[in-house]
């Protein structure tokens, strides 16, 4: 195995490959920053370019583009509250408040460090445990995924501050309801489409995220009076990358836990980066001491580090089923699988044995991409963060323009633009009434998957709900969910009991 | 066109008529350009990176590399299960002289289900180009060694056999399973189909043990079968495929069922027959090029060339067969 790793490393570290990863990271970061273009489209765009290269070079370029696009996506979530892909939604929960407070540089730096650490720890786990984990990942059935997704929904608790619990729950339910629009996955019947062809495929995530986050944010800032820039002049630390030692100590355990969680969730073929980021966010909020807990959703560095780490770790984790079994668990790995097959590499259990050099060079290439991204992006952060120093009358139209164009360029459908404006206006009204948007998006993202897996589990068990307690994995995850939900109630009751 | 122009030139060499001739040429040239196909605009009814997209871009790549056409452009227009793109090409037909829309078996299924109001009859069918055949697959450690054993167990208790697939109920993978059991004289309605939202997830479902059989296309599982993860029990093809020579067809086992998922091209309605024939001829020339062989083997496609009238007959047959099956399954009234 060591020989394989060394040979793989030798294949990865050639001057050409290093140049490619450099170019890839750069291009990827910019593609990722545009709403609507996430890692999947970035890689799909690169595939024709990479045909001429040998597999290691091609993979390195794609790895660079991939990590670049993931980081670029986080950038737009953090700076302008425009999560272009579902995996970065959780990063905006605390990342955007941080940049609102004039700490954009710090937020981006934390995102870069966490992503890097998540990628590193996950790659180490990939090196050590890939073949063993692959077998375990296949024991997950639909009912287990259902339980895992329900656990993911508990991340919503982070938005339920004092007196807002009901509002957060209502918005979650609204999100769940919106996810039912479109063709029903199991029966193929259309629901809530009002006979419109535009709604047959459901409401797109991108549309909802851009309209309810970015557009409504831009509209809200128009409603505020005054001409000052989006962030106050006095915040000269806007572009500063400085993260204090105390903060590093605070996020180190968060990064450690989220890496492991993210990797394990990523390994499951039916889960992925989005679920991993929500689970990590929820977990860290539950584990945080009560003072730090208050900060979640208002600019907590823990709340930013957790999803960023888990997101990247899950991406590395998703290579386990791809490389060892040949099963693509996510959209990105499905595109990667196509690219690998085009190179004549068939991922699967034989790859590790038949072509160890290719196997390791793919993994090491992915890691090289991760390292380069950190090196390349840290110096760029101050300039990217400067975006927020633009006067509002320039920044706001820019956000409006890019979010509308981003959605339009994906669907080429003018109906989407009308719907975006409608959603954005509704979102502004709801926000003025203090309803949080994040739980709605959370419910929307998880809702479709929850329904899909629940209905499949029911179909498999002949309509009986006995799988809830008969499958050990399902039962354990659901039990954990119940405990997490009940714990604060119990604590509260205990505190009251003590005080009386 | 060129020949005619030359005869005109010979007859009219006098100076005043030269002006007229050049005018004729000016008019003739654009007409000629319109008639021979220099560039093709590929309309893809789905997103980038999907099956339709790789087909259109792969073929566009071959056509331009081999010089069969000078230029290829691509447009992705997803929505309504390709209903959006069909409506678009019909509405703007007059501007779509150079456009070819890629599509596949679902255009037949979805128009039967009235997902969109149009059918292939509202377009100009050019040709089917590649195909994938229905396949029934089990885990490598499954007790089933051949398809007859599955049929026997199905007869004993159809509820016991759960069949995974990567499409909705009434979608392609469901029909693959239904047609196979129907050919065995069983009621296709008794097939217990478990839908997944992607082929990869359906494979994971099979390997996790929550389903016993996977209904899919051969191309989707060929590599997994080579790697020893799964066993292809049977394929629903006319004859065995070169990539999996040991796998029998349903016909060989005495079940008369074929399921072809073709991919092919349609032009806008109202283009001339000559032009449609020219499109088909260009696609035919593609098959003999080494560039095509490279793209074909890279993607694991199987050639299936059915031009124009043959394509229409094939589509009508498929529509008749699928409509009967879907009625039996209760998806059509």
What is the ipTM metric for this complex?
Answer: 0.79
According to the model, what pLDDT value does residue B33 have? 45
Out of A114-128, A402-416, B292-306, least confident range: A402-416
User: Cβ–Cβ of B200/A334 closer than 8 Å?
Assistant: yes
**In chain B, beta strands by DSSP E:** 39-44, 71-76, 99-104, 124-139, 162-165, 192-195, 213-217, 230-235, 260-267, 302-307
Residue B201 has pLDDT above 60, yes or no: yes
Residue A136: which pLDDT band, with cuts at 50, 70 and 90?
confident
Range scoring the smallest mean pLDDT among A184-188, B179-183, B184-188, B288-292: A184-188
Q: What is the pLDDT of residue A32?
A: 83
Q: What is the mean pLDDT of chain B?
A: 86
3-state secondary structure of B228: coil
Q: What is the mean pLDDT of residues A445-468?
A: 90
Cβ atoms of A375 and A4 within 8 Å: the answer is no
Q: What Å distances lie between residue A211 and A40, A69, A285, A427, CA to CA?
A: 21, 21, 27, 8
pLDDT of B15 > 60? The answer is: no
More confident: A402 or A130:
A402
**Tens of pLDDT, residues A207-235:** 898 899 888 888 888 887 655 555 554 45
3-class DSSP state of B146: coil
Delineate the domains of chain B, giving CATH numbers in brackets: 41-131+265-329 (3.40.190.150), 133-235 (3.40.190.10)
Q: Does the pLDDT of residue A19 top 80, yes or no?
A: yes
Mean pLDDT, rounded, of chain A: 83
pLDDT at A162: 59
pLDDT at A500 over 80: no
Q: What is the mean pLDDT of residues B62-89?
A: 88
Q: Mark yes or no for CB contact B79/A197 under 8 Å.
A: yes
Residue A261: the pLDDT is: 93
Res A476 pLDDT > 50: yes
Half-sphere exposure of A216 (CA within 13 A, CB side): 25
Of A20-29, A264-273, B316-325, which one has max mean pLDDT? Answer: B316-325
Nearest Cβ partner for B204 among A187, A270, A452: A270
Q: Is the pLDDT of residue A128 over 90?
A: no
pLDDT of A245: 86
Q: Which of A56, A63, A61, A52 is nearest to A8 (CA)?
A: A56
As a whole-number percent, the residues of chain A with pLDDT over 90 amount to 19
Q: How confident is the model at residue A335 (pLDDT cuts 50, 70, 90)?
A: confident
**Residue A4 vs residue B31, higher pLDDT:** A4
Longest dimension (CA), chain A: 75
pLDDT (0 to 100) of residue A363: 78
- Of B171 and B223, more confident: B171
User: Is B78's Cβ below 8 Å from some Cβ in A?
Assistant: yes
Does any CB of chain A come closer than 8 Å to the CB of residue B169?
yes
Task: Please determine, for residue A433, whether its predicted confidence score (pLDDT) is greater than 60.
Answer: yes
Distance from CA of A84 to the nearest CA of B (A): 16
Residue of B nearest to A338 (CA): B299
Q: Does residue B181 carry a pLDDT above 80?
A: yes
The pLDDT, as a whole number, for residue B192 is 94
Share of chain B above pLDDT 70, in %: 89
Q: CB distance from B146 to chain A under 8 Å?
A: no
Q: According to the model, what pLDDT value does residue B28 have?
A: 46
Q: Is the pLDDT score of B108 beyond 90?
A: yes
CA distance B11 to chain A (A): 52
Closest CB to B84 among A197, A327, A456: A197
Q: Looking at mean pLDDT, say which of A184-198, A484-498, B97-111 comes out highest.
A: B97-111
pLDDT of residue B145: 94
Mean pLDDT of B49-73: 88
Q: Pick the residue with more confidence: A259 or B295?
A: A259
Q: Is the pLDDT of residue A297 over 90?
A: no
Question: Among the listed ranges A166-170, B8-12, B103-107, which one has the minimum average pLDDT value?
Answer: B8-12
Of A13-17, A290-294, B71-75, B198-202, which one has max mean pLDDT?
A: B71-75
pLDDT for the residue numbered B11: 44
CB proximity B42 to A under 8 Å: no
- Mean pLDDT confidence for A187-216: 86
Whether B144 has a pLDDT exceeding 70, the answer reads: yes
pLDDT at B173 (0 to 100)? 93
d(CA B56, CA B265): 9
Which residue in B has a C-alpha nearest to residue A449's C-alpha?
B197
Tens digits of per-residue pLDDT, A303-331?
A: 999 999 998 898 888 888 888 777 776 77
Q: pLDDT value at position B206?
A: 93
Chain A residues closer than 8 Å to B73 by CB: none
Q: Write the residue in B77, B162, B197 that is nearest to A452 by C-beta.
A: B197
pLDDT over 70 (residue B8):
no
Mutate which of A41, A58, A145, A326 to test chain B, going by most B C-beta atoms within 10 A?
A: A326
Out of B85-99, B136-150, B196-210, least confident range: B196-210
What's the gap in Å between the CA of B78 and the closest CA on chain A?
A: 6
The closest alpha carbon to A210, from A89, A111, A297, A45, belongs to A89
Query: Which chain B residues touch A321 with a CB distance below 8 Å?
Result: 204
Residues in chain B within 8 Å Cβ distance of A48: 57, 61
What is the pTM assigned to this prediction?
0.82
Q: What is the 3-state secondary structure (H, E, C) of chain A?
A: CHHHHHHHHHHHCCHHHHHHHHHHHHHHHHHHHCCCCCHHHHHHHHHHHHCCCCHHHHHHHHHHHHHHHHHHHHHHHHHHCCCCCHHHHHHHHHHHHHHHCCCHHHHHHHHHHHHHHHHHHHHHHHHHHHHHHHHHHCCCCHHHHHHHHHHHHHHHHHHCCCCCHHHHHHHHHHHHHHCCCEECCCCCCEECCCCCHHHCCCCCHHHHHHHHHHHHHHHHHHHCCCCCCCCCCCCCCCCCCCCCHHHHHHHHHHHHHHHHHHHHHHHCCCCCHHHHHHHHHHHHHHHCCHHHHHHCCCCCHHHHHHHHHHHHHHHHHCHHHHHHHCCCCCHHHHHHHHHHHHCCCCCCHHHHHHCHHHHHHHHHHHHHHHHHHHHHHHHHHHHHHHHHHCCHHHHHHHHHHHHHHHHHHHHCCHHHHHHHHHHHHHHHHHHHCCCCCHHHHHHHHHHHHHHHHHHHHHHHCCCCCCHHHHCHHHHHHHHHHHHHHHHHHHHHHHHHHHHC
- Cα distance from N-terminal residue to C-terminal residue, chain A: 64
Which of A201, A325, A329 comes nearest B79 by C-beta? Answer: A201
Higher pLDDT, A92 or B197: A92
CB contact under 8 Å between B229 and A139, yes or no, is no
Tell me the mean pLDDT in the region A77-87. 85
* CB contacts, 8 Å: B84 with chain A: 197-198, 413
Provide the pLDDT for residue A225: 61
- Per-residue pLDDT of A141-168, as tens digits, reads 999 999 989 988 887 766 666 567 888 8
Q: pLDDT above 90 covers what percent of chain B?
A: 60
Minimum mean pLDDT among A281-285, A357-361, A442-446, B133-137: which range?
A357-361
Residue A109 and residue A251: Cα distance in Å, rounded? 13
Q: Minimal Cα distance from A344: which residue of B? A: B298
């Amino acid at each position: 195995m060591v020989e394989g790793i060394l040979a793989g490393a030798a294949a990865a570290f050639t001057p050409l490959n290093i140049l490619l990863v450099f170019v890839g990271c750069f291009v990827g970061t910019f593609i990722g920053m545009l709403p609507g273009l996430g890692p999947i489209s970035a890689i799909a765009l690169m595939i024709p370019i990479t045909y001429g290269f040998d597999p290691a070079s091609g993979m390195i370029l794609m790895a660079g583009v991939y990590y670049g696009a993931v980081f670029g996506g986080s950038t737009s979530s953090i700076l302008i509250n425009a999560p272009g892909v579902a995996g970065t939604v959780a990063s905006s929960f605390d990342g955007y408040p941080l940049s609102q407070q004039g700490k954009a540089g710090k937020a981006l730096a934390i995102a870069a460090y966490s992503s890097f650490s998540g990628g590193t720890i996950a790659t180490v786990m990939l090196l050590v445990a890939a073949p063993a984990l692959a077998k375990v990942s296949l024991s997950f059935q639909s009912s287990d995924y259902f339980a895992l997704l329900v656990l993911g929904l508990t991340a919503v608790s982070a938005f339920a501050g004092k007196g807002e619990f009901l509002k957060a729950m209502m918005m979650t339910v609204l999100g769940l309801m919106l996810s039912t629009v479109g063709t029903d996955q199991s029966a193929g019947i259309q629901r809530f489409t009002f006979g419109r062809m535009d709604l047959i495929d459901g409401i797109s995530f991108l549309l909802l995220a851009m309209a309810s986050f970015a557009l409504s944010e831009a509209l809200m800032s128009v409603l505020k009076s005054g001409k000052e820039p989006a962030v106050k002049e006095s915040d000269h630390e806007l572009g500063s990358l400085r993260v204090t030692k105390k903060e590093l100590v605070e996020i180190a355990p968060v990064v450690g836990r989220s890496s492991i969680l993210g990797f394990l969730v990523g390994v499951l073929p039916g889960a992925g980066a989005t679920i991993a980021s929500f689970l990590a966010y929820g977990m860290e909020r539950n584990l945080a001491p009560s003072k730090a807990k208050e900060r979640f959703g208002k600019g907590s560095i823990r709340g930013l580090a957790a999803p960023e780490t888990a997101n990247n770790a899950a991406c590395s984790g998703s290579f386990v089923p791809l490389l060892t079994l040949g099963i693509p668990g996510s959209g990105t790995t499905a595109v990667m699988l196509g690219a690998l097959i085009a190179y004549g590499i068939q991922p699967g259990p034989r790859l590790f044995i038949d072509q160890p050099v290719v196997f390791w060079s793919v993994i090491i290439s992915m890691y090289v991409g991760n390292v380069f991204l950190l090196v390349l992006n840290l110096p760029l952060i101050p300039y990217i963060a400067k975006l927020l120093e633009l006067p509002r009358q320039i920044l706001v139209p820019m956000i409006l323009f890019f979010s509308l164009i981003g959605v339009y360029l994906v669907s080429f459908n003018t109906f989407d633009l009308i719907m975006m404006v409608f959603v954005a206006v509704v979102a502004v009204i709801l926000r003025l009434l203090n309803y949080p948007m994040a739980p709605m998006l959370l419910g929307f993202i998880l809702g479709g998957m929850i329904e899909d897996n629940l209905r499949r589990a029911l179909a498999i068990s002949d309509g009986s709900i006995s799988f809830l307690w008969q499958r050990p994995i399902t039962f354990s995850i659901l039990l954990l969910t119940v405990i997490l939900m009940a714990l604060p109630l119990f604590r509260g009751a205990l505190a009251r009991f003590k005080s009386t | 066109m060129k020949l005619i122009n030359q005869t005109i030139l010979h007859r009219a060499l006098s100076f005043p008529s030269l002006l007229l001739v050049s005018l004729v040429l000016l008019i003739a040239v654009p007409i000629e350009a319109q008639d021979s196909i220099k560039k093709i605009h590929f309309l893809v009814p789905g997103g980038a990176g999907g099956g339709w997209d790789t087909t259109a871009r792969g073929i566009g790549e071959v056509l331009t590399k081999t010089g069969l056409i000078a230029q290829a452009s691509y447009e992705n227009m997803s929505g309504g299960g390709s209903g959006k793109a069909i409506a678009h090409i019909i509405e703007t037909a007059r501007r779509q002289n150079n456009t070819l829309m890629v599509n596949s078996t679902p255009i037949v299924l979805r128009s039967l289900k009235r997902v969109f109001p149009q059918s292939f009859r509202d377009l100009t069918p050019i040709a089917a180009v590649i195909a994938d055949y229905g396949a029934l697959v089990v885990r490598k450690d499954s007790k089933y060694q051949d398809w007859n054993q599955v049929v026997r167990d199905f007869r004993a208790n159809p509820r016991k056999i759960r069949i995974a697939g990567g499409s909705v109920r009434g979608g392609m993978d469901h029909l693959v399973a239904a047609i196979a059991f129907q050919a065995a004289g069983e009621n296709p309605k008794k097939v217990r189909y478990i839908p997944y939202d992607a082929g990869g997830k359906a494979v994971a479902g099979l390997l996790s043990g929550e389903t016993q059989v996977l209904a899919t296309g051969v191309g989707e599982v060929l590599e997994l079968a080579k790697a020893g993860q799964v066993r292809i029990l049977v394929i629903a093809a006319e004859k065995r495929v070169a990539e999996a020579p040991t796998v029998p067809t349903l016909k060989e086992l005495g079940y008369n069922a074929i399921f072809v998922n073709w991919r092919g091209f349609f032009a806008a309605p109202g283009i001339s027959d000559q032009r449609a024939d020219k499109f088909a001829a260009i696609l035919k020339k593609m098959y003999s090029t080494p560039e095509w062989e490279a793209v074909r083997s890279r993607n694991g496609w199987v050639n299936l060339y059915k031009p124009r009238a043959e394509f229409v007959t094939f589509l009508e047959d498929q529509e008749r067969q699928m409509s009967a099956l879907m009625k039996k399954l209760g998806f059509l009234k």
